[in-house]
Structure 1
């Protein structure tokens, strides 16, 4: 395997699976490659300047994690909307009364407004499901669990269980399974390059579908750090516990980002051990892709990253 033969080296590229495609980002450049219904690969390349790049203060450790997460949500939704545009049904049909009203009110800003609404709704739903629900459930059981640390541990484990069940449930949908395959193709492409191999379908297919800088690993670190933090912090009332879970989200996200950054950049025994929980969870969110999906991932990567020059410089070091 490529992972066993060559040592991994940080490249700076990252990505995301979209509908029938891949988004790859390198610095301010990002590209979305989509396999269209007719079988052709469409590649769109643009620039996105993240908040920490625009405002130097936001590059400080811990702060950069919070705003990088926000940037990832905004850019991710933009790329998902673009990929979905190739598969919209009844594109030539007359818009409904609601659609005409929305177009009249927002005009060209409609897509941006809808994306903001979807992001806001998704964020609130995630807070309710993964943050507040475990706290409320454990509070109901508090009469049988005397230890505050025990309650915090149970709450964290319940949060992990809910996340796993959620992933298992949505993975049954065919479209989500396809997205998980493209997620695996994205990881394989980056692993192939970072292990010093030419970016060919054969080499990519032989690479690992788990990657250290994956957003799934970030979520795992969020859950792990929240368990440790809330085992140390004590709150007497339910409303204080709920409020603390909400207010400390940026703190936990900032710490988790720094941990993910260390694990993703450095390759040693400690980072390999820290990667294990994320690797286990990525087993749920990544699936082995086929050659056609890998070809889409390669097209997105080559649009923003000169892997030949990267390999040449690597060989000279």
Structure 2
């Protein structure tokens, strides 16, 4: 009998998913399905697909490289799923669409979809720039500033490198946790986090070989070791370790340290992905230690779902379970 890091199961599946606006996306080895609650007794289902990086280049099937591809493909699928769920939820009246202002109507009449696409690109660039600034340059800057007051932070030796890596890593984790705590206070995000819990509990029910019913799903754990939250936390921790091998000021230029860390993101991502896969397959003291920070963070990003949410999760997972058992990783 195989085990996962947080509860005993009879099998481990490769099926995963993500919470959406009033819905869930489940991804299996052969199908990816989005299910959205559109009424008291109605659930809208639609299959979606993308051309994965692994299908375009065999390099992305290899260990470490597959982690980079997996992250990029997951982000693309999640964005596509999120847009679909938002549209269906608005159509069904599950979420309210604000009445556009006169200015917004004028903009739409004059520029239409072209401006929307431009704004989406601009918003994406701004979002990436903000994330890079907050998670790479700000921690490095604050450490250098603190070095004026903390003697152990001064210099460029091994001690300074150690403390800078720890300082940067801890600050990144604090910023990440603060961000999701703030998000969790929003009414809409609370429901998304409840759907997130429904997704995890349904996968656990399937892995436990129990019939997929609301009652069976409700008794499962909402904390899963292969969650995206765990992956993000692992990447932040791996980043601390990688930072130990980067000088405080490479070639005498302090600005280069965060730049090098950005360039090493594919390595960080690859290592984090492999660790998540190991935690998903094995249950021992080491994997429990590795998985623990991510599982703790899931106490923020997952909430107990209601029966209607569980019904959506059940329909989503049933749609992607292959008949030939190709999703089973181990038993």
TM-score greater than 0.5 by the shorter chain: yes
1:123 aligns with 2:128: yes
Q: Which moved more, 1:54-63 or 1:179-188?
A: 54-63
Point out where structure 1 has 5 or more consecutive residues left out of the alignment.
none
User: 2:280 maps to which residue?
Assistant: 264
Q: How far is 1:103 from its partner?
A: 3.3
1:296 aligns with 2:301: no
Q: How far is 1:138 from its partner?
A: 1.4
User: 2:37 maps to which residue?
Assistant: 35
Q: Which moved more, 1:263-272 or 1:141-150?
A: 263-272
Contact map agreement 2:135 2:172 (CA 8 A) in 1: yes
TM-score, normalization: structure 2? 0.83
CA distance in 2, matches of 1:266, 1:49: 30
1:285 pairs with 301, 321, 325, which one? 301
Give the direction of change, closer, same or farther, for the CA distance of 1:300–1:230 in structure 2 (3 Å limit). Answer: same
Give the direction of change, closer, same or farther, for the CA distance of 1:268–1:197 in structure 2 (3 Å limit). Answer: farther
- The C-alpha deviation readout for 1:229-253, integer Å capped at 9, x for no partner, is 1123213232111211211111111
- The number of aligned residues is 308
Give the direction of change, closer, same or farther, for the CA distance of 1:214–1:141 in structure 2 (3 Å limit). Answer: same
SS at match of 1:71: helix
SS at match of 2:225: coil
CA distance in 1, matches of 2:57, 2:80: 22
CA distance in 2, matches of 1:38, 1:100: 36
- The C-alpha deviation readout for 1:45-74, integer Å capped at 9, x for no partner, is 233342113321211111111121111111
Let me know the Cα RMSD of the aligned residues.
Answer: 2.8
Q: How far is 1:38 from its partner?
A: 5.6
1:195 aligns with 2:214: no
1:249 pairs with 255, 265, 268, which one? 265
Give the direction of change, closer, same or farther, for the CA distance of 1:33–1:148 in structure 2 (3 Å limit). Answer: same
Q: How far is 1:134 from its partner?
A: 1.6
- The C-alpha deviation readout for 1:235-288, integer Å capped at 9, x for no partner, is 323211121121111111111111111112334443233211111111111111
| Mapping of residues 1-317 of structure 1, within 5 Å | 6-36=8-38, 40-85=42-87, 86-87=89-90, 89=97, 96-103=105-112, 105=114, 118-143=123-148, 144=150, 145-146=153-154, 147-236=160-249, 237-306=253-322
- The C-alpha deviation readout for 1:13-42, integer Å capped at 9, x for no partner, is 000001011000102411111112565211
Q: Which moved more, 1:178-187 or 1:3-12?
A: 3-12
Point out where structure 2 has 5 or more consecutive residues left out of the alignment.
91-95, 155-159
Q: How far is 1:135 from its partner?
A: 1.8
CA distance in 2, matches of 1:142, 1:24: 47
CA distance in 2, matches of 1:92, 1:246: 39
CA distance in 2, matches of 1:157, 1:60: 31
Contact map agreement 1:65 1:257 (CA 8 A) in 2: yes
- The C-alpha deviation readout for 1:109-143, integer Å capped at 9, x for no partner, is x67x7665554443333222222222222121122
TM-score, normalization: structure 1? 0.87
Contact map agreement 2:49 2:77 (CA 8 A) in 1: no
Structure with the higher helix share, 1 or 2: 1
Give the direction of change, closer, same or farther, for the CA distance of 1:269–1:242 in structure 2 (3 Å limit). Answer: closer
SS at match of 1:254: helix
Q: How far is 1:172 from its partner?
A: 0.8
Give the direction of change, closer, same or farther, for the CA distance of 1:197–1:120 in structure 2 (3 Å limit). Answer: farther
